[in-house]
Amino acid sequence: MKEMLTSFLRGLLTPKTATHLINFIGKLKGIADLPTMMAWQARQEILKHPKFHDNKHLMPFGFKAYSQADEDGIIQEIFQRIGATNHNFVEIGVGNGLENNTLNLLLQGWQGGWLEGSAKSAQFIEKKFDKIIKQGKLKFKRAFVDRDNINRFIEGFSLPQEIDLLGIDIDGNDYHLFQAINSVKPRVVVIEYNAKFAPPTEWIMEYNPKHNWDGTDYQGVSLKSLERLFDEKGYSLVGCNITGANAFFCKKRSCWRPF
């Protein structure tokens, strides 16, 4: 791997610069691998595009703390612009709790509720986050959610109706779930979409309450179809993350100027 990385950098940079960079990277544990370097280089190339030179664009602010990719930075920048009200969140589909879109907020003093359907992940969360759950800062429920039960589960968290952030990542019925939610009124929503169907394509996975993602392209919803639904509910699309996995929507009354 080291030889592949060296060859890659020497082909990309001047010999002197490549040598300095290789030596520096070698001192950083867990960084010196080719996929990481290629991802970093790809991000730099993408952000060179003139459209990202506009300071209103969110993508350059992206970074990863505990999110899957750069969502943590984008969320932080959104609330830098519009402010937070009560620092409450709900996230649906959080995995084992260590890589999602609200853990970074939780560790900054926010509070809210998590819903997760996996028994293995739920067991891990209940053990790993036992202290913060007992403190009441995090409310957790293991549940396989659908459009008929989602509001009952959210209401069980006893949060204010207006919350700052809602996150949805369930690899399937994301569109139908948000369409059904009326128990909270989030100011900002982070929701997964299927980038296979690029704008202006409109596509929505048929609702199936028993759906489990099988790793194929048959999951979720196209970005354009999401945009139409959110517009009907009073939201504007303010950005997407760099990997084309998550879209960010903001209540129109909150975001008409900063974006």
- What confidence tens digit (pLDDT) does each residue in 152-177 have? 999 999 999 999 999 999 999 999 99
150 and 243 in a single domain? The answer is yes
Query: What is d(CA 229, CA 130) in angstroms, rounded to the nearest whole number?
Result: 37
Same domain, 38 and 57: no
Identify the pLDDT of residue 36: 65
Return the structure tokens found at 220.
Answer: 């979720």
17 pLDDT higher than 80? no
What gap in Å lies between CA 64 and CA 105, rounded to an integer? 12
Please check whether residue 78 is in contact with residue 58, taking contact to mean a CB–CB distance below 8 angstroms. Answer: yes
- Look up the CATH number of the domain holding residue 133: 3.40.50.150
Q: Are residues 21 and 113 in the same domain?
A: no
Q: Which of 27, 45, 63 is the last residue of a domain?
A: 45
Are residues 164 and 84 in contact, defined by beta-carbon separation less than 8 angstroms? yes
Query: Do residues 95 and 213 share a domain?
Result: yes
Structure tokens at 152: 């009952």
Let me know whether 26 and 135 are in one domain: no
Task: Using the predicted structure, report yes or no on whether residue 214 has a pLDDT greater than 70.
Answer: yes
Query: What is the chain's mean pLDDT, rounded?
Result: 88
Report the C-alpha gap between 202 and 229 in whole angstroms: 11
Closest to 114 measured CA to CA, from 125, 104, 128, 127 = 125
Please report which helix (H) or strand (E) contains residue 20, including its range.
Answer: helix 15-26
Kindly indicate the confidence band of residue 21, based on its pLDDT and cuts at 50, 70 and 90. low
Please answer whether residues 101 and 72 qualify as being in contact, where contact means their C-beta atoms are separated by less than 8 angstroms. Answer: yes
Same domain? For 76 and 104 the reply is yes
What count of other Cβ atoms lies within 10 Å of the Cβ of residue 8? 16
Question: 14: domain range?
Answer: 2-45
57 shares a domain with 19: no
Pair 18, 103 in one domain: no
Neighbour count for residue 48 (Cβ, 10 Å): 9
The C-alpha R_g of the chain, in whole angstroms, comes to 20
Residue 126 shares a structural domain with residue 238:
yes
22 and 120 co-located in one domain: no
- Confidence at residue 147, expressed as pLDDT on a 0 to 100 scale: 96
112-143 pLDDT, tens per residue? 999 999 999 999 999 999 999 999 999 999 99
pLDDT score for 132: 97
Q: Are 70 and 170 contained in the same domain?
A: yes
Q: Is 114 helix (H, G, I), strand (E, B) or coil?
A: strand
Residues 114 and 152 in one domain: yes
Q: Would strands 88-92 and 165-168 be described as parallel, antiparallel, or unpaired?
A: parallel
Q: Band the pLDDT of 1: cuts 50, 70, 90.
A: very low
Q: How many domains does the chain have?
A: 2
Please write the tens of the pLDDT for every residue from 59-100: 999 999 999 999 999 999 999 999 999 999 999 999 999 999
pTM above threshold 0.95:
no
Residue 10: pLDDT over 90: no
Which of 157, 167, 180, 156 lies closest to 93, judged by CA? 167
56 in Cβ contact with 259 (< 8 Å) = yes
pLDDT at 11: 53
